[in-house]
Amino acid sequence: MKLSNQTQLSEFLLLGFSEDPALHPIIFGLFLSMYEICVIGNLLIILAIFSDNHLHTPMYFFLVNLSFSDICFITTTISKMLVNIQTQSQAITYVGCITQMFFFIIFAELDDFLLAVMAYDRFVAICHPLHYMVIMNPRLCVQLVLLCWTISVLLVLIHCLLVLRLSFCTHMEIQHLFCELNQVIDRACSDTFLNDLIIYVATVLMAGGPLSGILFSYSKITSSICAISLKLGKYKAFSTCASHLSAVSLFYGTSMGVYLSASAAPSAASTAAASVMYTVVTPMLNPFIYSLRNTDIKQALKRLLLPNGSWKPLC
């Protein structure tokens, strides 16, 4: 029997969390609240940094890009899910699925690379403080961000073009909240060896590379901090890295948890629950991580929201 071509496929079905309609209002309210917290929190971080000249430094330039990426990341994954819950539908079109997958991979990889760049920034700041402004000049900062974007776009183009060559059957169920690359490829009717190979190579290079860079940077940072004689100096040096370390741990911990849980218990509920931590909770918590322990950000937020002790509307 001849396999149907992918152009004959009309839609995928996102199984999500629960098929019980009684739970849909609770799930909708919970995820809408988390989405609003993430967007508002990251927007406040961006506005605070832009409004305060003291924060126009490389570290906060990268933080602005990370906050923007987090907003786009959570919007890509959660917006369709909220629409489906509201309309009592699990369907997503073939084109919509490929589009969602395209932007999901871009912003997931962008977060990965930005965290590595921020680790390099902290390495230069602590290990080479006298040359920090010379090394981390505005031109290099822009080039590093553009490099992150370029690699992310090239990677997603390779993945999506390889998916477009696959053949699918008719209605296809995806045990996920969104069109995740592995889930889509597993539903293909044609040979996926090349897709699986590229995913494996890309995971090793594009995830292992930045993680190795982060670990190397922090090994050097740890050595430099240990060499500081004053306890106060050690505390100040470590405090500049604490927020970034928390964000790195959360990002890699939750993303690894998704695939470990999916391998251990490959069910729709377990996969969806694990992916929530990676795609929703992590972007939502990043603004709190970078603001609660950062005095400069807290002061900038106070000046933005409460100038002269009075409330300043954001519109």
Residue 238 has φ and ψ, to the nearest 5°, of -70, -35
- Which residues 6+ apart lie within 8 Å of 7 measured at CB? none
Tokens of 142: 């822009």
Strands (E), 125-263: 172-174
Could you say which DSSP state residue 168 is in?
B
Tokens of 259: 């695939």
More reliable by pLDDT, 192 or 17: 192
Residue 60 lies in a domain: yes
Could you say which DSSP state residue 188 is in?
B
Residue 3 lies in a domain: no
Tokens of 193: 């060896």
Let me know if 266 is exposed, middle or buried by CB neighbors in 10 A (0-12, 13-18, 19+).
exposed
Average pLDDT score over residue span 245-270: 71
- Axis-axis angle for helices 58-87, 138-164 (nearest 10): 30
- Give residue-wise pLDDT tens across range 227-237: 877 777 677 77
Domain CATH number, residue 17: 1.20.1070.10
* C-alpha angle 105-195-17 in degrees, rounded to nearest 5: 55
- Give residue-wise pLDDT tens across range 82-122: 888 888 888 889 899 999 999 999 999 999 999 999 999 99
Domain that holds residue 20: 9-309
Residue 239 lies in a domain: yes
Residue 315 lies in a domain: no
Strands (E), 156-286: 172-174
Beta strand 11-14 with 172-174: parallel, antiparallel or unpaired? parallel
pLDDT at residue 312, rounded to an integer? 47
Q: 261 falls in which pLDDT band (50, 70, 90)? A: low
Residue 4 lies in a domain: no
pTM of the model: 0.89
Tokens of 306: 């409460």
Residue 2 lies in a domain: no
Residue 168 has φ and ψ, to the nearest 5°, of -120, 160
Percent of the chain with pLDDT over 90: 40
pLDDT at residue 158, rounded to an integer? 94
Residue 165 lies in a domain: yes
Rg of the chain, C-alpha, whole Å: 21
More reliable by pLDDT, 169 or 99: 99
- Give residue-wise pLDDT tens across range 109-120: 999 999 999 999
Tokens of 220: 């050097």
- Give residue-wise pLDDT tens across range 114-150: 999 999 999 999 999 899 999 999 999 999 999 999 9
- CA 214/CA 56 separation, integer angstroms: 23
Q: Indicate if the pLDDT at residue 268 is higher than 50.
A: yes
Average pLDDT score over residue span 222-227: 85
Residue 78 lies in a domain: yes
CB 260 within 8 A of CB 19: no
Residue 297 to residues 34, 194, 292: CA-CA distances in angstroms?
Answer: 22, 46, 8
Could you say which DSSP state residue 5 is in?
P
Q: How many domains does the chain have?
A: 1
**Residue 128 half-sphere exposure, CB side, CA atoms within 13 Å?**
11
